[in-house]
């Protein structure tokens, strides 16, 4: 008389275990895949944000470098800081040179 009871118990137990596994699988499918997809999307967005902020930082860094006050020489005439300029006229047209920041008041130049 004990054997059928044990069978029923094991059947019920396995039925429960099976249903739990099925519920878990459904949960993983329903919740896990969208979460994974969201994670992928979020990571891509983060990478984009990091890249754009890095680019912005590089632009901010490189922008003052062209007129860097540390490397810029002083004007031989008025001793003001000089600025890199592009020669548009004359024999040196197209080449860069140091021009006085007080231009056009001061026309001091230096070769780079
Ligand atoms: Zn000058």
- CA 102, 57, 40 angle in degrees (round to 5)? 160
Q: 24 falls in which pLDDT band (50, 70, 90)?
A: confident
**Comparison of pLDDT for 80 and 112, the residue scoring more:** 80
Q: How many angstroms separate the Cα of 25 from the Cα of each of 12, 13, 29, 48, 60? A: 20, 18, 6, 33, 51
Q: What is the pLDDT of residues 85-112, one digit of tens each?
A: 998 888 888 899 999 999 999 999 999 8
**112 alpha carbon – ligand 1 mean position (Å):** 16
Distance (Å) from CA 108 to ligand 1 centroid: 5
> What pLDDT does residue 63 have?
55
Q: Which pTM does this prediction carry?
A: 0.37
105 CA to middle of ligand 1, Å? 8
- 106 neighbors 78 (Cβ within 8 angstroms): yes
DSSP state of 86: E
Please tell me the distance between residue 50's alpha carbon and the centre of ligand 1 in angstroms.
42
Name the band, by pLDDT with cuts 50, 70 and 90, for residue 1: low
Q: What is the pLDDT of residues 30-78, one digit of tens each?
A: 988 889 999 999 999 999 999 998 888 877 665 555 544 457 899 999 9
Residue 62 Cα to ligand 1 midpoint, Å, equals 25
Cα of first residue to Cα of last residue in the chain, in angstroms, is 106
Q: What is the pLDDT of residue 68?
A: 47
User: How many A from CA of 72 to the centre of ligand 1?
Assistant: 13
How far does residue 93's CA lie from ligand 1's centre (Å)? Answer: 21
How remote is the CA of residue 90 from the centroid of ligand 1, in Å?
A: 20
Q: Sort 75 into a burial class: Cβ within 10 Å, 0-12 / 13-18 / 19+.
A: buried
């Amino acid at each position: 008389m004990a054997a059928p009871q044990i069978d029923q118990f094991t059947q019920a137990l396995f039925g429960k275990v099976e249903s739990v596994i099925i519920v878990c699988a459904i949960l993983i499918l329903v919740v896990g895949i969208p979460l994974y997809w969201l994670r992928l999307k979020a990571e891509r967005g983060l990478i984009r944000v990091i890249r754009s902020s890095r680019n912005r930082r590089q632009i901010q860094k490189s922008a003052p470098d062209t007129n860097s006050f540390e490397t810029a020489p002083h004007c031989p005439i008025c001793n003001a800081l000089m600025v890199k300029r592009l020669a548009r006229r004359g024999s040196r047209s197209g080449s860069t040179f140091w021009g006085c920041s007080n231009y056009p008041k001061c026309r001091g130049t230096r070769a780079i």
